[in-house]
A and B are shown apart, each in its own frame.
Chain A
């Protein structure tokens, strides 16, 4: 089983009016983070879906996805035990009436993996880094808040559904520390694709793919300046999350401190 992915390639399909997409190919290399940008209904989730199922001109968009320049075999496309892709969808509702610990154990088994001492505790610990409200192993899954559910799933994707490609659909609706979440997911040279409307997330990537009317219309490389702007925006977001936690704890908010350490670039000119 070859799980070594050097790159994936998107070959053009058609937009919703049947017009061919205007690019030759898009290469996404190991370690890159890509934002998928566009209005509601523009085709962002379709693009994620094409990548998730490694489309071979067999989806609405007629796009083709190559892995390491080759057509991937059927087995890696559909068998979850061999799947290359983990995805975090918009909805994070749970339905199974079990404890957090048992749920993680079940998921581990369904992926055909063996647990090791302390793994489940590590998953929960990592989740707690990105949510303000701590999760404990004995909590019932059905009682988790939206933020806790998201945090748990981020950590699950990073530690249980370990996959070289990660797709994230609109993580910003969550009430979790976004930058921390992305940090947990991005490590070890994975390919990350994020559908997002959030400016700090969108600008903190390597490339942005812009979609409109069901087709890819533009590909932008993120500039250093944009990464700097992302850093400021993220600081504001986390600051606001801190205040939110204080309010929830019943504290009074007396003043606001706007001071953000500027990002330092090595070759800043």
Chain B
């Protein structure tokens, strides 16, 4: 099985180019598509309908979308053991998190109009492939300068110029996907650690104040030790973290968790 992650800022053209790549691969491989987003998306339904491949949407809701992605990956893998290639599209918000997997292939869709690439963190520096999008909007000279700047921050990355409207570049990326390694070992590793999310704001604090933040952080950690962290959903919430926030906000009782006595 091959495991491919697409990351890139919203509007960079991830879904457009993924569609052309799926078109290239779907006749020869068993595909699965997972679309992560924050609040809503219908890309999974569109892709399932158009290309007749199984697809799923995963909405992060109250959680950090990239942390949520990492939390969900083992489930997706377990449920799709019969597939050849899993294509995962991240919500595309965080330049810092971008949970690329060492054993798989990480593809950054990078909008050429988005400014100097040296500003980006792991979303670009951790990618195996950069799919530069919207290059048709600028001159070849500027495209070449952009390319040189990408190589400065990620010297080993493969750069493919893509066009989400015409599908240019999709064949090249499909080739790289075909050549990418199978995920052999069961244990996957993140390419880089994600920033810690342990403060009071992670537990839903809204008041911008040192004391409030600290109190919420302490209360949150206390609950975190009580819940099973299984994300079993028996409390009615998607994850333990979401449940903790709801308790702290007073929207539910901690006894709703069957593991808390």
Hey, which chain B residues are within 8 Å of A58, CB to CB?
A: 171
Residue B79, interface by CB 8 Å: no
Contact at A161–B140, with CB atoms within 8 Å?
yes
A88 / chain B contacts, CB cutoff of 8 Å: 139-140
In B132-178, the 8 Å CB interface with A consists of: 136-142, 144-145, 147-148, 167-168, 171
Which of A30-38, A102-110, A239-247 sits within the interface? A102-110
A25 adjacent to chain B (CB < 8 Å): no
Known A49-B168, A58-B171, A59-B171: A153·B145 in contact at CB below 8 Å:
no
Contact status A89-B136, CB under 8 Å = yes
| With known contacts A58-B171, A80-B147, A156–B136 Cβ distance under 8 A | no
| A86 adjacent to B147 (CB under 8 Å) | no
Question: Are A110 and B140 in contact (CB-based, < 8 A)?
Answer: no
A91 and B145 in contact, given A49-B168, A59-B171, A60-B167 (Cβ under 8 angstroms): no
A92 engages B144 (CB within 8 Å): no
Checking B115, B140, B144, B167 against A89 with a beta-carbon cut-off of 8 angstroms, the contacting residue is B140
Q: Which of A59, A91, A93, A109 contacts B148 (CB 8 A)?
A: A109
A96-B145, A106-B145, A110-B148 known; A86 vs B140 contact (CB < 8 Å): yes
A127 to chain B, nearest CB (A): 12
B140 A93 Cβ-Cβ under 8 A? no
Residues of chain A within 8 A (CB-CB) of B115 are 95
How close is A57's CB to chain B, nearest CB, in angstroms?
A: 10
CA distance A103 to B113 in the complex (A): 16
With A59-B171, A95-B113: A110-B144 Cβ-Cβ less than 8 Å: yes
Q: Judge if A94 is at the interface, Cβ distance under 8 Å.
A: yes
Contact among A80, A90, A93, A95 for B144, CB-based, below 8 A: A80
Interface size on B, residues (CB 8 A): 17
A89 to B163, CA, bound (A): 14
Closest CB-CB distance, B70 to chain A, in whole Å?
Answer: 32
Contact with A along B193-222 (1 / 0, CB 8 A): 000000000000000000000000000000
Whether A91 touches B141, Cβ cut-off 8 Å, given contacts A80-B147, A110-B148, is no
> From residue A47, how far is it (CB to closest CB) to chain B in Å?
13
Q: Does A111 contact B (CB under 8 A)?
A: yes
Complex alpha-carbon distance, A103 and B137, angstroms? 17
Least Cβ–Cβ distance between B65 and chain A, in angstroms? 28
Min CB gap A154→B, angstroms = 11
Give a binary string over A59-94; 1 marks a CB under 8 Å from any B CB, 0 the rest: 110000000000000000000100000111111111
Give A225 to B70 CA distance when docked, in angstroms: 69
Q: Using Cβ atoms and an 8 Å threshold, which residues of chain A touch B142?
A: 94-96, 107
Residue of B nearest to A90 (CB): B136
A160 interface residue (CB < 8 Å to B): yes
Q: Which residues of A contact B144 (CB under 8 A)?
A: 80, 107, 110-111, 161
Q: How far is the CB of A63 from chain B (nearest CB, A)?
A: 13
Q: How far is the CB of B135 from chain A (nearest CB, A)?
A: 9
Q: How far is the CA of A94 from the CA of B113 in the complex (A)?
A: 9
* Complex interface: chain B residues within 8 A of A87 (CB): 140
With a cutoff of 8 Å between Cβ atoms, the chain B residues found around residue A92 in the complex are 138-139
**A90 surroundings in chain B (CB, below 8 A):** 136
Q: Which residue of B136, B141, B142, B145 has the most chain A CB atoms within 10 A of its CB atom?
A: B141
What's the nearest-Cβ distance from chain A to residue B244, in Å?
Answer: 44
Report A-chain residues with C-beta under 8 Å of the C-beta of B167. 60
Shortest Cβ distance from residue B202 to the other chain A in the assembled complex, whole angstroms: 36
Q: How many angstroms from the CA of A80 to the CA of B115 in the assembled complex?
A: 21
Which residue of the partner chain, among B136, B138, B168, B171, contacts A94 with CB atoms under 8 Å? B138
Query: CA of A95 to CA of B111 in the docked complex: distance in angstroms?
Result: 12
- Contacting pair A91 B136 (CB below 8 A): yes
Interface residues of A in 87-139 (CB under 8 A from B): 87-96, 103, 106-107, 109-111
A58-B171, A59-B171, A95-B113 known; A110+B145 contact, CB < 8 A: yes
Return 25 A-B CB contacts under 8 Å, by A number.
A58-B171, A60-B167, A80-B147, A88-B139, A88-B140, A89-B139, A91-B136, A91-B137, A91-B138, A91-B139, A93-B138, A94-B139, A95-B112, A95-B138, A96-B142, A103-B141, A103-B145, A107-B141, A107-B142, A107-B145, A110-B144, A110-B147, A153-B141, A156-B141, A161-B144
Contacts A87-B140, A93-B139 supplied; 8 other A-B pairs, CB < 8 Å:
A80-B144, A89-B136, A93-B138, A94-B139, A96-B145, A103-B141, A107-B141, A160-B141
A residues whose Cβ falls under 8 Å from a Cβ of B: 49, 58-60, 80, 86-96, 103, 106-107, 109-111, 149, 153, 156-157, 160-161
The 3 nearest A-B residue pairs measured at CB: A110-B148, A107-B141, A110-B144
